[in-house]
Amino acid sequence: MNQFTPTARTQVKRLADRGKYDTETVYRILDEGFFCHVGFVVDGQPFVIPTGYARVGDDLYLHGSAASRMLRTLAGGVPVCVTVTLVDGLVLARSAFHHSMNYRSVVVLGRAVAVEDRDEKLRALTAFTESVIRGRWDTLRPVQDNELKQTSVLRVALSEVSAKVRTGPPKDDADDYALPIWAGVLPLRLTPGEPVPDPKLPAGVPLPENVKKYSR
């Protein structure tokens, strides 16, 4: 599949030219991010919960404690909306009205399915770890059976999906371009700080290269 078919729920209507439906754009955004917001309704009350995620092929995986109300609710088959947003810059215009942000976002609609197969669950957990920091999984001790039992993994098929992207400079009113007001884009990037070792780390354990040179 190279293109998602827009539906009445995923078709971008306002500023429609920002809508993107190709899998390359959608998957690139999902793979750069690792943090999403999950929306669902319980007894008429909307909830939006921040959590981690990982993409494997044409599926999105969520995970957490087996006691999580969100995961238990989603496993029951309620409709779910997952959103991912990457902010690339602040767009500073000559008027407050035209200030904006450069961003890339994805909206996924569907229903979640609980993953019961042990191998699929391990693949998903591997993907979660690798999506946060590449090369980490193979350096860790093996997952224990009791940890698997305490962890729920849900799969959401990537079928009803759209992306929305804004790039470029401010779009001011024509008469405002001559004003002596600085305007442009202030790029924003996710930049790691200095790694802080665990106080209980044994002496002599080196800092891994994938931590030292971390990037998205």
Q: Is position 46 within any domain?
A: yes
Mean pLDDT of all residues belonging to the chain: 96
**Residue whose structure tokens are 């030219």:** 17
Q: Tell me what pLDDT residue 34 has.
A: 95
Q: What is the predicted pLDDT for the residue at 106?
A: 98
Distance from C-alpha of 189 to C-alpha of 216, rounded to nearest angstrom: 10
CATH number of the domain where residue 89 is located: 2.30.110.10
Domain-embedded: residue 2:
no
What DSSP element (H or E) covers 125?
helix 118-132
Does residue 4 lie in a domain region?
no
DSSP string of 21-35, one letter each residue: -BHHHHHHHHHH--E
Tell me what pLDDT residue 158 has: 98
For the CA atoms of 33, 35, 40, 42, the dihedral, rounded to the nearest 10 degrees, stands at 170
Q: Tell me the torsion sign for CA atoms 169, 174, 176, 179.
A: positive
| Residue 70 in tokens | 């969100």
Residue 138 lies in a domain: yes
What is the reported pLDDT for 1? 63
Please indicate, yes or no, if residue 104 is contained in any of the structural domains.
Answer: yes
Give me the number of domains the chain comprises. 1
**What would the pLDDT profile of 29-39 be if each residue is shown by its tens digit?**
999 999 999 99
Residue 1 lies in a domain: no
The C-alpha atoms of residue 63 and residue 19 are separated, in whole angstroms, by: 29
Summarize the confidence of residues 172-193 as an average pLDDT. Answer: 97
Q: Which two tokens stand for residue 1?
A: 């599949």
Domain-embedded: residue 180:
no
Least confident of 12-16, 91-95, 99-103, 194-198: 12-16
Among residues 57, 79, 83, 92, which one has the least CA distance to residue 179?
Answer: 92
Q: What is the pLDDT of residue 22?
A: 97
C-alpha–C-alpha distance, residues 15 and 84, integer Å: 19
How far, in whole angstroms, is CA 65 from its chain's centroid? 19
In a domain, 8, yes or no: no
For residue 36, the model assigns a pLDDT of: 98
Total residue count of the chain as it appears in this document: 216
Predicted local distance difference test score (pLDDT) of residue 199: 97
* Structural domain span for residue 198: 16-171+186-212
How many H-runs (helices) and E-runs (strands) does the chain carry?
5, 9
Report residue 55 as tokens: 């993409």
Write down the pLDDT at residue 216.
84
